[in-house]
Amino acid sequence: MSATPHRPETLLVTLTGQDRPGVTATLFGAMVGSGVEVLDIEQIILRQRLILGVLLTTPGGPGDPAATDDLVATLERVAAELGMSIEVQRGTGDNFTRGEGRSHVTLIGQPLAASAMAAVAGRIAEIGGNIDRIERMARYPVTAIDLHVSGADPDDLRARLAPTAAENGVDLAVQPASLLRRGMRLIVMDVDSTLIQGEVIEMLAAHAGVEPQVAEITERAMRGELDFEASLRERVRMLAGLPASVLDEVYDQIVVTPGARTMVRTLRRLGYRFAIVSGGFSQITDRLAADLGIHFARANELEIVDGVITGAIVGEVVDRAGKARALREFAEAVGVSQAATVAIGDGANDLDMLNAAGLGIAYNARPVVQAAADTAVNVPYLDTIVYLLGISREEVEAADAEAGIVTPAPPI
């Protein structure tokens, strides 16, 4: 019979109070010479208030309670000198065992109400999950919180939490905790109403005097009510006769979604690759890719003859299946697995691409897309995506500051 593993006697020391430089050094300095080992440590700071937890072995071993008493008295004296509160709990074991299944649950709100936090935390507990750690990823212009959850299957967690998030008006993403979250990934984005605001084909239609008709067909196609290829060809026919110079005018009118440049700039620093896959037109998307520093682009090509848009498309249409195919081809070109891809889109023609990706994000999307995607983001800032990848706003701003990019001061 094998012997039962020895469970060391431990002290859990919790120090709270006003933070200032040197607190951690002073506390550990008081332990020098006591012979204790540090088993675990956590520290957080909220509004300059420190909460520091340290798990230690007892000094002198189980047969020397006097040594433990002396250390506790020393720590209490140090805390008093620092003007802080201290609590010491005695026990055995180095740490609790986390349950199977580990996930990152990211909550995004504008604002993030206490009722939403209560609802999500309650649902996690109901299905047997435990929140091991909570980190703030951003406090403006949205509030983003990352919950480290154990004891629940990530797929089950996602299915159970999604309705709760929707009912409480917050966005929520569940991702398995793995090295993949820290690795280089490929980000594949839709263009119209995702990377940019509005629809290019409607902007072109405005020059042809048929914007209302085109906009109606576009909306129905994005909701999944019409075959995408047939609807695209119908809309493009309405553009016949427009001078090709209109494309330059439309490009100059494009408004890039807030946060898009920040997202691309930040993730490129980490070695990420980017692609745009659009049911729009390469005459626009190729220029957009070059402007934003995007590595790959695929879209439909408008036929232009003698400087005039003919109303036809050259070659195969980039439809719903074509977008998913492009994602797989770009992933192979970059050398990453499909599991290491992130797809972002808003329309029904993005659904296959979102399902093919390791993480599919419905961005301000139609209901049919939000229902099918891994997660939905409904705030008007595309750089919110970086919080889902474990990158905080503070880290983004620090990197920008090093590059000489000034970030507007946050609200008080």
Q: Active-site residues: which are they?
A: 190, 192
Please count the CA atoms within 13 angstroms of the CA of 198 that sit on its side-chain side. 15
CA-nearest of 315, 295, 285, 321 to 188 is 295
| Assigned token pair, 372 | 């099918």
Instruction: Centre a 10 Å sphere on the Cβ of residue 81 and count the other Cβ atoms it contains.
Output: 10
Report the distance separating Cα 229 and Cα 276, nearest Å: 18
Phi-psi region of 322 (alpha: psi -120 to 50; beta: other; left: phi over 0): alpha
Tell me phi and psi for residue 204, to 5 degrees.
-65, -40
- State phi, psi for 310 to the nearest 5 degrees: -85, -20
Radius of gyration of the chain (CA): 27
CB 175 within 8 A of CB 268: no
Beta strand pairing status for 296-305 and 308-314? Answer: antiparallel
